[in-house]
Amino acid sequence: MTSPRRPRSRREVLSEFRTAEILAAARSVFAARGFADATVDEVAQAAGVAKGTLYLYYRSKREIYLAALRSGVEELVLRLRQRLEAETTVEGAIRAFVQTRLAYFEAHLDFFRIYYSEFATMLTPVPASQRFVREIYLDQIRLLASALRAAADRTRVRPLDPDRLAFAIGELTRGLISDRALRGSQASVDEDVAFVLDLVWNGLAP
């Protein structure tokens, strides 16, 4: 029998809150300045803490940067998991995946800018400390593939490989995110979701 979780202490709650504030500030600074030009002093100032306080949590600027990136992608994966587990149809799973990713990046453009810079390195050898970017992206694709595989209405669509389909939808969604950030697309999230569904659904039609 699993023992009940120990209630968190006040110190633990405050530490978690402080960490979240620091990482949010770090994402904002790194997005605006880039990793090379941003400084720990700027992150500390944005977070409203002393520089020494940052070093109680993180050993270097690089560690702050990677922690800020990791917290963002882990939050996105959590939201995707919650949405996809509630869907039972192919169309619902696709809609939930695309809508969740687009809405998250729309609301967290500072996170997207540092995520996008790291995403470009996914196909090249990277240090172990950065491999989580690749793994968490694959986690998102696996979540969609699993939802597509489990969908109750799969017999109503063409029998395509769920893994390949999930990758295709993931890359299509990433393209729309890039369009919003790089070209300044004015399409709403709902319009982009409808665009993906129309494109994909026509290809899935039996």
Going from the N-terminus, what domains does the chain have, and what CATH number goes with each? 68-204 (1.10.357.10)
- Closest CA relative to residue 52, chosen from 16, 22, 32, 78: 22
Check residue 125 and give its pLDDT. 62
Query: C-alpha 16: how far from its chain's center?
Result: 20
Check residue 83 and give its pLDDT. 95
Residues 88 and 152: beta-carbon distance below 8 Å: yes
Check residue 1 and give its pLDDT. 45
- Closest CA relative to residue 39, chosen from 59, 61, 66: 61
SS3 label, residue 59: coil
Token pair for residue 51? Answer: 């520089």
Residues 89 and 99: beta-carbon distance below 8 Å: no
Check residue 5 and give its pLDDT. 54
Q: pLDDT means per 10 residues in the chain (206 residues)?
A: 49 63 88 86 91 89 88 89 94 95 87 72 61 85 94 83 94 89 85 93 80
Q: What is the dihedral of CA 134, 120, 169, 106, to 10 degrees?
A: 100
